[in-house]
Structure 1
Amino acid sequence: MTESISVVVVDDDALVRAGLGLILGGAPEVRVVGDAGDGDDGVALVRRERPDVVLMDIRMPRVDGIEATRQIVALEGGTSRVIVLTTFDTDDMVVQALRAGAAGFLLKDTPPDRLVAAVRAAAAGEPTLSPSVTAQLIERVSGSGRAAADDAGRRAARRRLGTLTDREREVAVVLARGLSNAEIAAELYLGVPTVKTHVSRILDKLGAANRVQAAIAVHDAGGASS
């Protein structure tokens, strides 16, 4: 029997919350354990329920999705993965949310089957961004608020990358292209469980909340040549 995936939905639009609840409720292994209408209530709900995945709107009253994401990622012992919801994939607030620790993003018009697939992927620690989107976001995030070529930033990124073993660095470079664990395993001729172990250690050593942040660190360090 497949282990269930618990989900919390945070959106200020009641119709969106209801719609997402219906879609996710149709997947036998997904349980919507609660919903909230703003970020403040969403953080409180996540703190109480400790869901596997949080679907988080960005623009909300009181506490927006960016700050709520930051607080959820910072929860002591928290393992909830946040997927931000947006209307436009070029939204600069998506970039801010990813920097705050969101694991990925979905457009609000994402087809139901892809929405469920994204929730499954997030729960499994897999990326919820395509390689092409990952590359675009890394470029934007690296250039947002500081220059990617900044010497101090590059040296710091290289120091973090230097804590990795040779194999972990090899995995990190491939991870930075947005590949899933299965794709990394195929490219490097490793088992998927081995890749999962490496990815977990990479995130821990780089101090990254998610794969996007790890990819940014690799990018800032200049890849495997550091």
Structure 2
Amino acid sequence: MASRFTRLTTSIPKFARGYAAPASVKAPITLFGLDGRYATALYTAAARQNTLEAVEKDLKALNLAVEKDATLRAFLENPTVNRAVKMEGINAVLGKSPSQITQNFFETLAENGRLNQTTKVIASFEELMSAHRNELPLVVTSAKALDKATLNKIVESLQKSTLSEGKKLLVSNKVKPDILGGIMVEIGDKSIDLTVSAKLAKLNKLITDSI
């Protein structure tokens, strides 16, 4: 099976079909764009071999290295760098024991000249893994950091609402002083703006329209 998978091809669907698997295996959500298609192919191949967590671990390690090293990011995104040289760089970061699927996937990216999509593909793969775990991102933006009790109350309220869709909320508190006060809630692809700055903007519009 692995020998079929390692044949470098410019066709993403062929990549995902590199391993025999039940037809029922599919991505939990539909992603669009080039990065979405590559991430979906990787997710499908890893799911078929029960190596999702191993591949995720590899990608997190690579992403961390790219985030810490601007030179590495520039190296991957530079179209003038030879693909083979880029692959050597990827191998150096992945180390000696990446998942075979991870290794083959990046060889495919290199062959297709798509290593410049690395960080986008990783981000898309994380979206798929989050959906796989039935998680939903919740970002609460406030003028100053919220205490744990306040944040918990917001989370509990949303968890009981239809907005959470019964999913596990991945909570983060973003601090943005220029909202002046109140909060902005972003849950999945939905948002609720209860900030003072938004209310002032509406008030200013009403005043302007009435003049």
Class of the TM-score when normalised by the shorter of the 2 chains: under 0.3
Larger radius of gyration: 2
TM-score by length of 2: 0.28
Q: Kindly indicate whether structure 1 or structure 2 has the higher relative contact order, using CA contacts under 8 Å at least 6 residues apart.
A: 2
More helix by share: 2
